[in-house]
Amino acid sequence: MTSKPITGRCFCGAAQFEVSSAPILKRACWCRDCQYLSCGNASINVVFASGDIVIKGELAEYASVADSGQIIRRRFCPTCGTQMFSEAMSQPGYIVVRVGTLDQPNIAEPTSVIWTASAPDWAWINPHVPRFEKHVEAVQE
Ligand SMILES: [Zn+2]
Ligand SMILES: [Zn+2]
User: Cβ distance 100 to 77 under 8 Å?
Assistant: no
| CA–CA separation, 7 and 84 (whole Å) | 12
Of the listed ligands, the closest to the CA of 100 is 1
Distance of CA 104 from the midpoint of ligand 2 (Å): 22
pLDDT at 137 over 80: no
| CA–CA separation, 83 and 61 (whole Å) | 9
Which residues 6+ apart lie within 8 Å of 33 measured at CB? 64, 66, 67, 72, 141
**What's the start-to-end Cα distance of the chain, in Å?**
23
Give the residue from 45, 46, 42 showing the smallest Cα distance to 21. 46
Give the residue from 54, 75, 51, 76 showing the smallest Cα distance to 7. 54
| CA–CA separation, 50 and 129 (whole Å) | 26
Of the listed ligands, the closest to the CA of 77 is 1
Distance of CA 20 from the midpoint of ligand 2 (Å): 25
Distance of CA 11 from the midpoint of ligand 2 (Å): 21
Distance of CA 34 from the midpoint of ligand 2 (Å): 4
Distance of CA 55 from the midpoint of ligand 2 (Å): 22
Read off the pLDDT of residues 62-103 as tens digits, 9 standing for 90 and up: 999 988 888 999 999 999 999 999 999 888 899 999 999 999
Per-residue pLDDT at 131: 95
pLDDT at 2 over 80: no
Distance of CA 25 from the midpoint of ligand 1 (Å): 25
Sorted by where each begins, the domain ranges of the chain are: 6-118
Q: Please give the CATH number for the structural domain made up of 6-118.
A: 2.170.150.70
